[in-house]
Structure 1
């Protein structure tokens, strides 16, 4: 599922990423990434240390 893929890409990068960067790295559509990120935000699995960039909770 796209949620797991987004989380994998974010974890592998080791730095905060924007949705467009995640989409490019995962080979996904940005809209899919946005939906997956909304799920991850609600579950508390990602945080935003800087504006518009997200990373997994450590």
Structure 2
């Protein structure tokens, strides 16, 4: 799930809300929120503004 969420964020090319990612993947937003939480802990995703998330640029 984490890889799918990260790919969807990269494909969006802009900060996205968990609900938008869930809609594009066709899954529950709670699953996406859990994946985002894990990705944040790993340092792969950051929040440029409240309630929006984007992949960290390497």
Please give the TM-score of this superposition, normalised by the length of structure 1.
0.94
Aligned to 1:51: 50
Pairwise mapping of residues 10-49 of structure 1 onto structure 2 (< 5 A)? 10-49=9-48
CA RMSD, Structure 1 to Structure 2 (Å): 0.5
Moved over 3 A (4+): none
Gaps of 5+ in 2: none
CA distance in 2, matches of 1:3, 1:28: 12
Cα distance in 1 for partners of 2:6, 2:36 equals 9
Please report how far the alpha carbon of residue 31 of structure 1 lies from its aligned counterpart in structure 2 after TM superposition: 0.9
The structural deviation recorded for 1:16 is 0.2
- C-alpha offsets along residues 2-57 of structure 1, whole Å, 9 cap, x if unaligned? 10000000000000000100100111111110110110010000011111100000
The unaligned stretches of length 5 or more in structure 1 are none
What is the number of equivalent residue pairs in this alignment? 57
- TM-score of the pair, normalised by structure 2: 0.94
